[in-house]
Amino acid sequence: MGTTGRFARTGTRAGVLAAGALLLAVGCSGGGDGDSGAAKDDPNLLRGFRSWLKTNDSERDDALAGHALHISLDYLPGDRDGVVKVLTDYGPWGEAEGQVGPLAEAFTEWWDEDPAAGSARILGQGGKTAKTLTLYDGDEPSNLADEFRSWTAKNSPGGARLAPHVTELTIGYGAKGAGAVTVATDYLTYKDKKTRQNLDALGKAFADWWDGDEGAGTVTVTSEDQGTRAVRKLTRP
């Protein structure tokens, strides 16, 4: 996947958040120079990975693509980098551990040591971890939660007060539509009027920071009781 293209954004997200290709320069170097262009154009991580499996010049089995159901990127403030979770249909029960090997190898090859995540968890049916992978262990890891908090504190009205309340940032990619971002906070309850105002402000800050990237279409900001404000659109028309 490489650090050029997919994360070629300028500013604080350089090497993390490419416009229109948030985790997707998907012409990962392992794919050769055959038909990988179709994957490069798709800002949905799951579709990009599936497309690469089907169009690259390697000997990967095209059938692997059908086993990947969902991909998400999880970031906790203060962690070194993010974690990719790849949900599959392998299983049930303990069988997944012995089945995920080829897909895990393909995913590592496709990711190509991009600094946006340091590790991946391949999940079997029911979401149980079947295999853990190292994706990047270099000197310049990226953490989108820290990037967003830092930007918000410096650039958003009231951001210095709001930013410390962000506890997690997750970007989920399914087979259809754009990715969806969830920003979790430690505000206790959505019923509190001030909390609702703060969630709204963080949603606006995130949309401003995201700046129309096509890698995700919406953001939802949650309180600890999972109350949410209206979903805010991210991708510009």
pLDDT tens by residue, 205-215 = 999 999 999 89
- The confidence band for 41, taking pLDDT boundaries of 50, 70 and 90, is low
Comparing 36 with 12, the larger pLDDT belongs to 36
- pLDDT at residue 61 in the model: 86
* DSSP character at residue 228: B
Mean pLDDT value of segment 179-194: 95
Q: Where are the alpha helices (DSSP H) in the chain?
A: 37-40, 45-55, 101-111, 144-155, 159-162, 193-210
DSSP track, 204-220: HHHHHHHTT-TT-SEEE
- pLDDT at residue 31 in the model: 39
The percent of residues in the chain predicted with pLDDT above 70, rounded, is 81
| Residue 16, φ and ψ in degrees, nearest 5 | -125, -45
- pLDDT at residue 226 in the model: 87
User: What would the pLDDT profile of 43-77 be if each residue is shown by its tens digit?
Assistant: 899 999 999 998 876 678 889 999 999 999 999 99
* Predicted TM-score (pTM) of this structure: 0.84
Q: Between vectors from CA 197 to CA 194 and to CA 200, what angle results, nearest 5°? A: 150
